[in-house]
Structure formats: structure tokens, C-alpha cells
Amino acid sequence: TGVLNSILEQWCPPSAETVMGHAEAMSLAENVPPGCHGLTFLPYLGGERTPNWPHSTGALLGITPQNMNCMAGGSSGVMYRAAMEGVSYLMADALNQMRESCGDGFDPQSIFLVGGGSKNRLWRQMLADVLGLELSFPIESESAALGAAFQAGAAASGMKVDEYVSKQSVDVNDVVVRPTDDEETLKLYRDGFERYMQNSRKLFAS
């Protein structure tokens, strides 16, 4: 995502030989425990649409002497993971808003993950754990517009959207990522999401 690209460029210093890439940053982030030692990253670098906070900004909260060494180049993995968790919590927040808006008729058990982030092994597992859902991956990874195409198809055919979508098929690969069974990891993510929700509402909710 654009957020991770910005973190990579601004917070993850290059080595003497090469600029750090996402694979190296991910490897460093894997050594940081879930919850990032209490750091909370609000990823609203360009405002936010869900929630509808166009004037919001990014924020890094929960800085302590123990976790602030990343800001001095001590551990790029901490900032990279904090950003990944922040975006994951943003997606969980959006999913909860969809549940509230749609009522009992919306109860997903699995979701398709697409885009560049869907190739990130750490982020795949993180999202499954944070969302509490099974993740599948379309063979065509750049399928972000697929939902809009289905809606357009339904409108053109005169069918209800849910009826039209139920008749469509999406080719997926064999990889399925499920939430971890490790309760300690899940609790750290739950605590992190609670901090995210509290801090984001205090700063930007009207």
C-alpha cells in the first residue's frame, strides 16, 4: 500500500549497499511481537474515507523509551510492523461498520484478499488474525475492481446484486490462510485494535 511505501522510504534506512525493500522490512517486522510494544499507528496519511474523516492525519501514539529506538534507526521492523497493524485495524474497523450498516444479513466467514499486500506472508496472517476470518486469494491478484464490475453487471442485466454475484465464479489459488489458534497472539491484536479504536475516535471523531 501507499502507507507502507511511505514508511519504507522515510523510516527504514538503506544499508550501505542497497535501499531496503519490502521483503527485508517484512523480515525485520517478523521479529517484532504483535502489538508493537504498545505502539499505535493511525494510517490516515491522506485523510480517511472509512470512517469519513477527510481531514484526519497520520499519528503515532504510545511512544516509550523502550519502543522509540525505531525512530532513530534502531529497528526499522518496529515502524514497518506498526504500519501494517494500523492498516489491518483500519480494515477491521471498516468491516465492523459494514456489519452495523447491513445488520444480520451480513456475516462473512471468509474474504478475498487482493492487491500487492496479498503477496506479503506476514500481512496475510496478520489480517486473518485481526479480522478473525479465513482469507482466500484470487488467481488474478489485482482484482480490486471486481466488486464494482459485478455491480455493473447486475445493473445491466436487471438482476439483484446478491443474486447476480451468487451466479459468478472467481478462480482462486489453493492457499487459504486461517486465524491462528494462539490465544496470546489474538489477545495482543485485540488489545491493539482497542487502542486503535479509542485513539482514532478521540482524535478525529466529531
Write out pLDDT tens, residues 22-54: 888 898 899 889 999 899 999 999 999 999 999
What letter does residue 45 receive in the DSSP assignment? B
Euclidean distance between the first and the last CA atom of the chain, given in angstroms as a whole number: 27
Q: Residue 79: which of 123, 124, 129, 41 has the closest Cα? A: 41
The pLDDT, as a whole number, for residue 177 is: 96
C-alpha 202: how far from chain center: 21
Distance CA 32, CA 12 (A): 15
* pLDDT-derived band at 70, boundaries 50, 70, 90: low
pLDDT band at 75 (very low <50, low <70, confident <90, very high): low
CB contact at 8 A, 77 and 25: yes
Q: Look up cell 503477496; give the residue.
A: 119
Q: How many whole angstroms separate alpha carbon 70 and alpha carbon 62?
A: 13
Whether the upstream peptide bond of residue 54 has omega within 30° of 0, thus cis, is no
Question: With contact defined as beta carbons under 8 Å apart, do 177 and 135 qualify?
Answer: yes
89-126 pLDDT per residue, tens: 999 999 999 999 988 878 899 998 888 788 889 999 99
